[in-house]
């Protein structure tokens, strides 16, 4: 048995409505809190939108759940400093998310040029509001496997120089380049379980695997190893963020499938597996339960959860509104399981 202070998920997609209710309990049964992504249609771009979305999440929680959604705003070309200050005063908006326009699912309303957002970023620097960065360029001339590296060169490095006090989280990092940038610049970074467990070969194992397709896309084995080394390093700037992204089976298994991997059904179990494979289970608690809370200036959870070494089989699918979704490792075996209370 492995006992941990209850972890938090610092990067989560919940969607909305009935589909949200079908997946929310997976996160709520494992995590104390989660940073909830704002890329709905329409996006959660105003504090009033975030408040309404938060209420819908709380209403959808299982009875007796103590799970706390931590809300975010969607940065646009028109986000004003006033909205940033209002978000900070709200007490329930904890960050602002930067999607380069067209970078991933529901990012059409994202930022076309980060220099347009100078005033909003200055306001965030002033009040201590973190900026969560989807770190990929959308230039069609840039190879999809190089988009994170080029983002560092073209966008993130200049941003860090110009806005030195800005609190930045480099979301779902996938490359050694990103690991090195975090180590050298002291910004925060989330790492997903699927990027720790798989390299890009998983996209083509025995055929095209749409349920292994995410953005940023899986990378080479050398990058996976660099992520694993960062996660177990003890550097408090690296912390857990699943980027669990539920999509219906039909939207994944199509001629132009959506990017996103669903891992919330076994999120902390996947991380335990990755850390065990690295011989570093003793490093899991800090990565999963301490580092993110400390970075955001929030108290660490007091409740504990237990993981047991017990094999179980992942269901082939889960309900998702009027459809179903296919989780990571559907029909496959897990070595760890959250103990029932």
- Exposed/middle/buried for 285, CB within 10 Å: 0-12, 13-18, 19+? middle
Q: Are 291 and 237 in contact (CB under 8 A)?
A: yes
User: Residue 19 phi/psi, 5° resolution?
Assistant: -55, -40
Alpha carbons 127 and 122: distance in angstroms, whole number: 9
| Rounded to 5°, angle at Cα 53 from 317 and 118 | 110
User: Residue 18 phi/psi, 5° resolution?
Assistant: -60, -40
**C-alpha gyration radius of the chain:** 19
DSSP, collapsed to helix, strand or coil, labels residue 86 as helix
143 is an active site residue: no
Helices (H) and strands (E) in the chain, counts: 13, 13
Active-site residue, selected from the candidate residues 146, 243, 282, 294: 243
Catalytic machinery residues: 243
């Amino acid at each position: 048995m492995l006992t941990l202070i209850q972890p938090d998920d610092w990067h989560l997609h919940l969607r909305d409505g009935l589909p949200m209710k079908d997946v929310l309990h997976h996160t709520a049964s494992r995590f104390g809190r989660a940073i909830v992504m704002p890329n709905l249609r329409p996006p959660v771009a105003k504090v009033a939108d975030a408040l309404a979305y938060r209420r819908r999440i709380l209403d959808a929680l299982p009875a007796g759940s103590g799970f706390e959604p931590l809300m975010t705003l969607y940065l646009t070309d028109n986000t004003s400093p006033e909205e940033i200050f209002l978000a900070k005063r709200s007490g329930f908006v904890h960050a602002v998310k930067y999607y380069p326009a067209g970078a991933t699912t529901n990012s059409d309303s994202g930022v076309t040029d980060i220099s347009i957002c100078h005033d909003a970023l200055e306001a965030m620097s002033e009040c201590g509001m973190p900026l969560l960065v989807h770190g990929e360029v959308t230039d069609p001339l840039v190879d999809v496997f190089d988009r994170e590296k080029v983002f560092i060169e073209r966008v993130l490095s200049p941003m860090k120089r110009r806005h030195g006090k800005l609190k930045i989280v480099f979301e779902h990092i996938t490359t050694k380049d990103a690991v090195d940038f975090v180590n050298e610049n002291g910004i925060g970074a989330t790492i997903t379980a699927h990027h720790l467990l798989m390299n890009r070969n998983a996209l083509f194992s025995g055929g095209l695997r749409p349920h292994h397709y995410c953005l940023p896309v899986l990378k080479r084995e050398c990058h996976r190893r660099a992520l694993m080394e960062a996660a177990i390093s003890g550097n408090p700037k690296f912390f857990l963020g699943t980027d669990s992204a539920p999509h219906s089976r039909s939207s994944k298994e199509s001629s132009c499938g959506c990017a996103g991997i669903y891992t919330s059904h076994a999120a902390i179990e996947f991380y335990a597996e990755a850390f065990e494979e690295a011989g570093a289970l003793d490093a899991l608690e800090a990565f999963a339960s301490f580092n993110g809370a400390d970075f955001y200036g929030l108290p660490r959870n007091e409740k504990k959860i237990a993981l047991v070494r017990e094999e179980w089989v992942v269901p082939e699918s889960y309900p998702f509104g009027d459809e179903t979704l296919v989780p990571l490792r559907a029909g496959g075996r897990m070595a760890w399981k959250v103990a029932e209370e």
